[in-house]
Amino acid sequence: MKVSRRKFLRMSVQTLGGGIVLYVASPAILRAALQEEATGTPAAELTREEHSWGFAIDVRRCIGCHKCVQACKLENGVPLEPEYRRTWVERYEISEDGAVFVDSVSWGQDGPESIYPNAKRNGHESAKSFFVPKLCNQCENPPCVQVCPVSATFKARNGVILVDGRRCIGCKYCIVACPYGARFLNPETRVAEKCTWCYHRITRGLLPACVQVCPVGARVFGDMKDPESPVRRLIREEMTQVLKSALGTKPKVYYAGLQEGVR
């Protein structure tokens, strides 16, 4: 085949240009194709421009009933064995001489293990004790996202950190990287799993399951952009703090009434 120089040059410029156009446009094309099969949630609900979610916990109200842990497991299909959990409740006991004991029962097949004897450990007399619910903080600077080698975990447009179970290779880097211990490896799917603030509920305008069943209003959820949302009100009216603020992860779960020493 014989090609003149002029024709060859024109062809190569066209190819190059076409390539660039395709590279720039392909995500849009792919997205349009995908949106055709998946129906439902309007995209606006998912974007950050629409909502910026926040979570608050009033530690002074928690009664440690574990209804939140139960609801989370049943809502999200978390394995029922006690060692797997997306949210959990820790019991702190602080003795007269300042020693701190932490334990956490979990909700299993048969309800919460109803232990919780009033402690007296190694001769330490418990002076005060209280419950602290924990869950994923959906950090503004998430270490788990940084370490993922396959970009399976990422910050969704409404600020929640999600895991793409199809891309996750189960390497557990993120589990180690999370300073709050919020992640675990699902034994059935072999992918990393964590709390999503019930992404499928909040994008439908419902509350996360744990918030919905909390009998004493210790868990509060809402839009940080709405000054009248319950979460903004709690943060405005109470003294709140976040966990391990020194790490610079910028968590989005605010705690009211938290005792020093809780991490």
Partner 1 sequence: MNRKIKIVLCLLAVVTGAVGLWQLAPRLLEQRGLYFGEQVYQAETEERTSLLPIQYAGSQVCSQCHQAQHRGWQESEHLTVACEACHGPGQAHVEEGAKPSLDASREACGTCHNELAARPGAFPQIDLAQHNSQLACIACHNPMGTARQVSLVVPTSTATPSDTTPTPWPSGVIEPSGPPRIPHSLEGRSACMACHGSTGFKPFPADHAGRAGDLCQSCHRREGT
What is the b/e burial string over 221-240, where b = at least 16 CB atoms within 10 angstroms of the residue's CB? bbbbeeeebbbbebbeeeeb
Cα-Cα end-to-end distance for the chain = 73
The footprint of partner 1 on this chain (CB under 8 A) covers a number of residues equal to: 65
63 touches partner 1 (CB under 8 A): yes
Detail the DSSP E strand segments found in 41-197: 53-58, 88-95, 100-103, 107-108, 111-112, 120-121, 124-134, 153-155, 161-163, 184-185, 192-193
One-letter amino acid identity for 180? Y
Residue 213: CB minimum distance to ligand HEC, A: 7
Q: Which does 122 bind (CB under 5 to 8 A by kind): partner 1, ligand HEC, none?
A: none
Residue 106: CB minimum distance to ligand HEC, A: 17
Q: Within 10 A of 76 (CB to CB), how many other CB atoms are there?
A: 18
48 touches partner 1 (CB under 8 A): no
- Sole binder of partner 1 in the list 10, 121, 167, 263 (CB under 8 A): 167
Binding site for ligand HEC (CB under 6 A): 65, 67, 215-216
Burial of residue 126 (number of CB atoms within 10 Å: 0-12, 13-18, 19+): middle
Q: How far is CA 49 from CA 161, 197, 223, in A?
A: 16, 18, 11
Q: Site residues for partner 1, window 198-237 (CB under 8 A)? A: 199-201, 203-204, 206, 209, 212-217
Cα–Cα distance measured from residue 212 to residue 71, given in angstroms and rounded to the nearest whole number = 9
5 touches partner 1 (CB under 8 A): yes
Q: Which does 196 bind (CB under 5 to 8 A by kind): partner 1, ligand HEC, none?
A: partner 1
Residue 233: CB minimum distance to partner 1, A: 17
One-letter amino acid identity for 178? C
Residue 111: CB minimum distance to ligand HEC, A: 11
Residue 75: CB minimum distance to ligand HEC, A: 13
> Which residues in this chain contact partner 1 in the complex, by CB under 8 A?
5, 8, 12, 16, 20, 23, 26-27, 30-31, 34-35, 38, 40-41, 45-46, 60-67, 70-71, 74-76, 91-93, 111-112, 114, 116, 118-119, 126, 129-131, 151, 154, 156-157, 162, 164, 166-167, 196, 199-201, 203-204, 206, 209, 212-217
